[in-house]
Structure 1
Amino acid sequence: MALDLIVKVHPVVLFQIVDAYERRNSDSHRVIGTLLGSTERGVVEVTNCFCVPHKEYDDQVEAELGYAGDLYEINSKVNPQENIVVIHEYYARECNNPVHLTVDTTLINTTRMAIKAYVCVQLGVPNGKQGSMFTPIKVQIISYEPEITGLQVCSKTQSAIGGVVKSAGIVEPQMDLAQIAGASTKLASMLDQVLAYVDDVIAGKQQPDNQVGRALLDMVNSVPKMTSEQFDDMFNSNVKDLLMVVALSQLIKTQLQLNEKLTLLTTL
């Protein structure tokens, strides 16, 4: 049953792991920690994590489990829906169907971060020697909508030049209307690619893919049926609401700035 598990990891978990690795002690070669998330119908969704201090010896690793328990208790008060899903002798007593996630943050001889997940499978014969083995399972990266927005902003701070990624400076989050314009441009480009693919399939220039066809059918069926006039009315109404929210937010921002300056003058 454990081999049928699928691990879905959110980007914030990877960022936290990389951050912990960059902040590690100079004599540490790796970091370990606790994965938090939920398990449902064979899918383990990892939404959070925290680092656990540890010491490494030649034949064993000693983690500060008291610290791990205290931090998990604190996190439970903020996010009670997040449970421990990581595998370890200590953690195995705390949850069912635990997993072990490894992240290669060194990027040695590769441009992609290696992410792997394992489950512990018991081996042995009845009344004989018992053992265990870590068996790999599938890993997927998934994102909530706010995470996608954050990743898009992060991607704009990097530029690939000659195969080497260099910093492109600080990028401020875009206003809502600018995000809508960018998303519309990207959507138009994707629609052009889909139409070109469909035209090539109809003309016999490309072999059809049944999975792509089913995805396109689901997409078309999910679009509500309306006339162009109805769509224009709906779009204009939403844009007006958005403009009102933007105007109110700017007024609130200006009011806060004035209040801050008046408070500073009063204290002087």
Structure 2
Amino acid sequence: MAVDQEHFVHLARPLPPTSMGFAGSAPLTVNIQPQAVFSVIDHATRRDIRDTQSTRVIGALVGTRSEDGSEVEVRSTFAIPHTENEDQVEVDVEYQKNMLALTLKASPRETLLGWYTTSHELNSFSALIQNFFASPETGTFPHPAVHLTISTEPGAPIETKTYISAPVAVSPDRAAESCLFIEVPHKLLFTDAERAALGTASAAAANESRSAPVVSDIDSLAQALTTVSDLLDRVSGYVGEVLDEERDGNQALGQYLMNALSLAPKVSPAQIEADFNNHIQDVLMVSYLANTIRTQIDLAQRLATAPLVGSGGEKEGGDKGKDGEEGGGKQESRGAKGGKRGVRSGGGRSTGQRGEPREPRETGE
């Protein structure tokens, strides 16, 4: 897939969500998972710029879409090889089809959502690729294709923008090379575990060594309580300034705070402290029992798989051989004693050497 820059293409600037007759409501809401952003950044840092003049990379967005199509969630991405210069852009279409088929086999509930690039610039090449991902044969039709742009300049904050497109009135032979980009709202979604990982990564970015230790559960809990305390102080200060008429109040923010406070349980501070201490004791007891069970299992595995000591076996064999030799010697000595007894019984009062009986003496007349 290639296009020449010399062809005239009408490309409008990004418009706010109120444009195109949407009456103040966004036509689409985009939710982005952190792993998708990390995948795009990793693709940008590993790009090969030896054979191309392109300063950006592109790839496909894969995720889920709501039933009414008004909300999408970007869960994963995969890179697409392409070359780009001042005159044309080439994209490996076969590679994109094969990778999409493999991705959908691994995650049958997901679908193609659009594409991403590591530049906020919107040009004619962007319109060409956007129409390719929105086409009925190779794209997201009848749903709009999402275009995600991420800035990956070293040392600069990461900024993300999302767009959808609409066709414009041009000649039919140039319809594939033109579109109108419309910016839509988006937000990053992450769980508590991902929040902790992002906090650690942020702490490593602020450190000169680009490293940060992994804190324990107790330290993480202490940091979370400190953060909550700071947020409460900020909210309390804001409410106090509004009540003292030092600043103008915000009706939407006041409604949000009222809804949040209505969900909080009405208990005394002493009861909250007692419940918290009991919970901490339960957590410590479970941790102690888990460590004890882990130690017992490890010890049992070591005892079951420990090899027999070679020196001990040799010692046992040597003792057995020694016992056998002693037993044989005792039997021989017993036989010798038996021989003595036989000589004495056969020779009467003879006192000859052992095993050599002498002739009896002759008696006188």
- Indicate the SS of the match to 2:114: coil
Greater shift in the superposed pair: 254-263 or 240-249: 254-263
Q: Note the 1:135-214 alignment, pairs <5 A.
A: 135-159=182-206, 167-214=208-255
2:160 to 92, 115, 124: 115
Partner of residue 162, structure 1: none
The whole-number CA distance in structure 1 between the counterparts of 2:110 and 2:75 is 8
Partner of residue 4, structure 1: 27
Contact 1:12–1:147 under 8 Å retained in 2: no
Contact 2:146–2:164 under 8 Å retained in 1: yes
Structure whose residues are more often strand by fraction: 1
The whole-number CA distance in structure 1 between the counterparts of 2:213 and 2:221 is 16
Q: 1:37 to 1:263 in 2, by over 3 A?
A: farther
Greater shift in the superposed pair: 112-121 or 1-10: 1-10
C-alpha deviation, 1:17, in angstroms: 0.9
Residue by residue over 1:29-48, the C-alpha shift from the partner in whole angstroms, topping out at 9 and shown as x without a partner, is: 22111111222352222122
| Aligned residue pair count | 258
C-alpha deviation, 1:128, in angstroms: 9.9
C-alpha deviation, 1:145, in angstroms: 2.4
Greater shift in the superposed pair: 237-246 or 120-129: 120-129
Q: 1:245 to 1:36 in 2, by over 3 A?
A: farther
- Indicate the SS of the match to 1:24: coil
AA at the equivalent of 1:113:
I
- Indicate the SS of the match to 1:178: helix
AA at the equivalent of 2:158:
M
Partner of residue 45, structure 1: 73
Q: 1:259 to 1:121 in 2, by over 3 A?
A: farther
- Point out where structure 1 has 5 or more consecutive residues left out of the alignment: 160-165
- Indicate the SS of the match to 1:167: coil
Is it true that 1:217 corresponds to 2:264 in the alignment?
no
CA RMSD of superposed structures (Å): 3.3
Q: 1:58 to 1:200 in 2, by over 3 A?
A: closer
The whole-number CA distance in structure 1 between the counterparts of 2:171 and 2:81 is 37
Structure (1 or 2) with the larger CA radius of gyration:
2
AA at the equivalent of 1:31:
V
- Indicate the SS of the match to 1:124: coil
Q: Note the 1:25-104 alignment, pairs <5 A.
A: 25-27=48-50, 28=52, 29-40=55-66, 41=68, 42-56=70-84, 58-87=86-115, 88-92=130-134, 93-95=138-140, 96-104=143-151
Question: TM-score under structure 1 normalisation?
Answer: 0.79
- Indicate the SS of the match to 1:157: helix
Contact 1:34–1:84 under 8 Å retained in 2: yes
Partner of residue 132, structure 1: 179
Identity of aligned residues (%): 26
Contact 2:131–2:179 under 8 Å retained in 1: no
C-alpha deviation, 1:152, in angstroms: 0.5
Q: 1:55 to 1:169 in 2, by over 3 A?
A: closer
Greater shift in the superposed pair: 211-220 or 221-230: 221-230
Residue by residue over 1:76-107, the C-alpha shift from the partner in whole angstroms, topping out at 9 and shown as x without a partner, is: 34433332111544533342221111112125
Q: 1:121 to 1:256 in 2, by over 3 A?
A: farther
The whole-number CA distance in structure 1 between the counterparts of 2:174 and 2:133 is 23
The whole-number CA distance in structure 2 between the counterparts of 1:128 and 1:56 is 22
Greater shift in the superposed pair: 18-27 or 142-151: 142-151
Q: 1:208 to 1:18 in 2, by over 3 A?
A: same
